Chains A and B, each alone.
Chain A
Amino acid sequence: MRILKNLTFLTVLGGGLFAVLEVLISVGILDDYSLQILCTAGINIMVALSLNLISGYTGQLALGHAGFLAVGAYSTGILLLAHIPLPFAILGGALITALLGFLIGFPALRLRGDYLAIVTLGVGEIIRVLIINLGGLTGGSAGLRNIPGYAENIMVNNPAAFLWIFPAVLIAVALVANLIQSSQGRVLISIREDEIASQAMGVNIFGMKLMSFTVSAFIAGLAGALYAPFIGYLAPGGFDFLRSVFFVIIVVLGGMGSLTGTILSGVGLTFLQEALRTNAKDWSQSVASLFGTVSGGSIDLVPMSQVLFGLILVLLMIFRPEGLLGSSELRLTKLFRRGSR
């Protein structure tokens, strides 16, 4: 019953939020630029969600999710350029990534602990290098151009993308929540807690890890698949190790094993990153004018975003190592119950 109530609640809440945002778009308060950031946040949340499943819940640290994002995006991009209809191209991109996750997981998940992190890190880089070198298929370092968008008219692509990405994120969160609150989900958590005990209770830990990893790859691939027609242009540089680390930061900041934490920090960090990217130039110019141009050039503050992320992570580890929400969930029903905890 509780599950049913949660689902209805989520549908009402998600639907309501969606309606409000749609109204804001039609009235024009949410402009094209805000929509672009919201869509980017949605993509980031989806990848972080998938990473949380394998790392936060199953306890297997993965450092190559930018690679999965890239595979999903490029597969869908290539399918779209081959005039495959949009829904099939998106599904295709996600499925190709899931298959890749399965193939990588098969040998890699036999390793324990930190070794998986190293292997996934390597795989992420291999994917990027392959994309650069398979120029005929992927456009190489120049990138994959002119990917058909969600809308025929490029001017209304962002609102159209939002119509796809927002529901997709909601559905992905709901399905992962369902997975976690089932016997399969409990088994994944038991693997995180104690592999040996889990195995001794009859759990096929390798099989369950492989399931978790494949589902994780599917969701990350789906995020990539939704990303390609949204952005229209894919370059291998955007899927490097730092991108993978960005997803890890979202998960760690929100709390390993907290879905609402991932959503909150996903939105927060996307906006922060965007603010730093767009404003850093102005800030660096004002700093430069303050000091004059004695050194013969302005000081570039753009790389400061990386420093700031590092700082956030260090402070987090000192003051709240379990992340903002730890492994608990933020429940709106709890907030409504006047001040009771």
Chain B
Amino acid sequence: MKPILSVSHLSMQFGGLRAVGDFNLELNPGELVGLIGPNGAGKTTVFNMLTGVYAPTEGTVELDDGKGGFEDISGLPPHKITRKGLARTFQNIRLFKSMTVWENVSISRHAQVPYSLAQAVFRLPPFGKAEATLRQEIQDLLAIFKIDTKADWRAANLPYGEQRKLEIVRALAAKPKVLLLDEPAAGMNPQETLELMDLIRFVKDQYKLTVLLIEHDMNLVMGICERLIVLDYGKTIAQGLPAEIRANPVVIKAYLGEDAVHA
């Protein structure tokens, strides 16, 4: 199968520190891949390179351009990468706290808004209709995730689990091909994590997305990821099916130390 995202030889050098070295990844359409590793392994750095927060020192990130070819998106600014079809959520929730739920989602749709600044300021024809359509679209999207009744709540007032959910909805509203989730289960209790797993599966199937996620919660990782990549000290130390990774001595050593392998 032709991959949708192909990353080769991606490296990030901070001064004398090589945070990530020679990272390779191929994501096939519709796949759900997990990126795991101990703290400080460079997982978030990989995300930041993929989404343009950092410009990688070396390597390429090639995204299916939808016309049968590939396009190198490495080093582009974040907003351009998002518009090309790579959206993300954040490890520490980054909602627009004082804005309402629907306004949060509307930010992702701004690039598609059909009216200009002048038309907005003078309330010229396309404005009213476009705003109504936008509002309806967002309302429908929120309804799918059962938070439509809270559309006018301030984002900061949502319960924690729903804030996480809203972050995912907001990323989805940018209509991505590939969704990157940075520790979506962080701070969740086991029940919320189970619900989140259902949500991620649902989103992936409903929107035919390819998902790459970083996670520490092994129940979630082993439960929904089809394939895993393990990073340690910026290097890929293993990749394969969840069952293979669980039995891999190199991975166990990275997580638990030398003794654990022999124990």
Binding site for B on A (CB under 8 A): 3-4, 7, 175, 178-179, 182-187, 189-190, 193-194, 196-205, 211, 327
B120 proximal to A (CB < 8 A): yes
Residues of B within 8 A of A327 (CB): 98
Query: What is the distance, in angstroms, from A64's C-beta to the closest C-beta of chain B?
Result: 23
In the complex, the answer to whether B99 meets A178 with C-beta atoms within 8 Å is no
If over half of A's interface residues share one DSSP class (helix, strand or loop), that class is named, otherwise mixed; here it is helix
Give the contact stretch, choosing among B35-43, B106-114, B247-255: B106-114
Partner of A202, one of B83, B95, B115, B117: B83
In the complex, the answer to whether B82 meets A190 with C-beta atoms within 8 Å is no
Sample (13) of A-B pairs whose CB atoms are under 8 Å apart = A179-B120, A182-B121, A183-B109, A183-B134, A187-B110, A194-B95, A197-B96, A199-B77, A199-B78, A200-B53, A201-B174, A203-B107, A204-B79
B51 proximal to A (CB < 8 A): yes
In the complex, the answer to whether B123 meets A7 with C-beta atoms within 8 Å is yes
In the complex, the answer to whether B96 meets A198 with C-beta atoms within 8 Å is yes
Residue of B nearest to A3 (CB): B123
Residues of B within 8 A of A204 (CB): 77, 79
Lowest 4 CB-CB distances: which A-B pairs, in order?
A: A182-B120, A193-B96, A197-B94, A202-B82
Partner of B107, one of A178, A182, A187, A196: A187
Contact with A along B80-123 (1 / 0, CB 8 A): 00110001101000111111000110111111010101001111
Binding site for A on B (CB under 8 A): 51, 53, 77-79, 82-83, 87-88, 90, 94-99, 103-104, 106-111, 113, 115, 117, 120-123, 127-128, 131, 134, 170-171, 173-174
In the complex, the answer to whether B94 meets A179 with C-beta atoms within 8 Å is no
Residue of B nearest to A7 (CB): B123
Partner of B82, one of A7, A185, A200: A200
In the complex, the answer to whether A198 meets B107 with C-beta atoms within 8 Å is yes
Query: What is the distance, in angstroms, from B55's C-beta to the closest C-beta of chain A?
Result: 14
Partner of A179, one of B83, B87, B110, B117: B117
A201 vs B88: C-alpha distance when bound (angstroms): 8
In the complex, the answer to whether A178 meets B79 with C-beta atoms within 8 Å is no
